Amino acid sequence: MSTLFEPIKLGAITAPNRIIMAPLTRARATIDHVPTPIMVDYYRQRASAGLIITEATGISQQGLGWPFAPGIWRDDQVAAWKPITEAVHQAGGRIFCQLWHMGRLVHPSFLGGKAPVAPSATTAPSHAHTYEGNKPYELARSLQEVEIADIIQDYRRAAENAMKAGFDGVQLHAANGYLIDQFLRDGTNFRTDSYGGPIENRIRLLVQVTEALAEVIGSDRTAVRLSPNDEHRQGCADSNNAAIFPAAALALDRIGLAFLEMNASRPGSTFRPGAGKYDLAPIIRKLFRAPLILNTDYKKDDSVAAIRAGEADAISFGRPYIANPNLPELLRHGEELREPDAAFFYTQGAQGYLDYPTT
């Protein structure tokens, strides 16, 4: 019977425990999306995680619309990531780079005034975070098929760059209402070509990008993140989650990934209250044979229970890792976890970033 503190094979790497650091946007890169020296210390502090999955990292300027988020499409960005991966490895850790295209959630101010791209011409609800403050989202334009091929190439190049930067692998961000998720769901994908309509068409981009990443760096160094239990994330919804996501999981299973990470439907979640009227995790668990990592407000006891029950192979923790860099040690000894200060989640300094106790 597996426990939270036992090693696990995740594709090409062996994690010493099943406490995974989930992707966490922290906005500590430069204004032009280059990782900064304080990010070296931040990730090194958390190297005791079974695996670190980085904050979402842009594959292109077209796909990145978050202030001070890092990218990995330019040589200077690759060079700035190298000290980070080296620091994690020197501290005994492992680290994957999460690859991100935000689709319609990129505000035109990041694109020189040009419209963002999406599967269809739609506008996201609410507002975008920009360097000039919050602004309403604007109408995205529908991608042409030739442009989709270019985006797949951007993903391929980003994976190559991740290997040059010293990462152990990559995770495709296909969740939370961003570009890949926008293609998956019929509430944002109204296309009539080979990327729209039937389920097999709407999962096409997910499959093609994942296959491209696997071809570049190996399927055993490629992972995916999905959000099947989010019914309406950032205005991205589907009329039948129970059909689209099992189909996606089955298609991903055939590629032979390192792991799949996804949110569970957790009653009483403080981060996503009411997310998911039903839990697709048990269904996907049966369809996807590689390790399954679950996320959403897990504590020690229910993490241990989920792994012992075979519901998951590992658990990823997001916000607990902000204030608890040594989270595996704290969980092992049953110590009380510190609460992060939300006022410093997305600021650019060391306060609320590097100053949480590491012992």
Per-residue pLDDT tens digits for 304-350: 999 999 999 999 999 999 999 999 999 999 999 999 999 999 999 99
* Rounded Cα distance, 57 and 316, in Å: 18
Q: Which helix (H) or strand (E) holds 113?
A: none
The residue with tokens 């490895």 is: 89
Tokens of 182: 């926008």
The DSSP letter of residue 335 is P
* Rounded Cα distance, 328 and 79, in Å: 30
Strands 232-233 and 141-142: unpaired
CA-based nearest residue to 185, from 111, 239, 140, 118: 239
Q: What pLDDT score does 188 carry?
A: 98
Q: Which amino acid is at 85?
A: T
Question: How sure is the predictor about 222, in pLDDT bands with cuts at 50, 70 and 90?
Answer: very high
Residue 269 has pLDDT above 90, yes or no: no
Verify whether residue 137 is a known catalytic residue.
no
* Rounded Cα distance, 359 and 356, in Å: 9
Residue 290 has pLDDT above 70, yes or no: yes
The neighbour count for residue 239, using CB atoms within 10 Å, is 9
Question: How sure is the predictor about 255, in pLDDT bands with cuts at 50, 70 and 90?
Answer: very high
- pTM for this predicted structure: 0.96
β-partners of residue 315 are: 19, 294
Question: How sure is the predictor about 271, in pLDDT bands with cuts at 50, 70 and 90?
Answer: very low
Q: Which amino acid is at 228?
A: P
Q: Mean pLDDT over residues 273-300, rounded?
A: 85
The residue with tokens 């696997």 is: 214
Among the options 137, 155, 178, 321, which is catalytic? 178
Q: Mean pLDDT over residues 258-270, rounded?
A: 78
Question: How sure is the predictor about 2, in pLDDT bands with cuts at 50, 70 and 90?
Answer: low
Residue 39 has pLDDT above 60, yes or no: yes
CB-CB contact of 221 with 11 (8 Å): yes
Tokens of 193: 């070509």
Tokens of 145: 């098929």
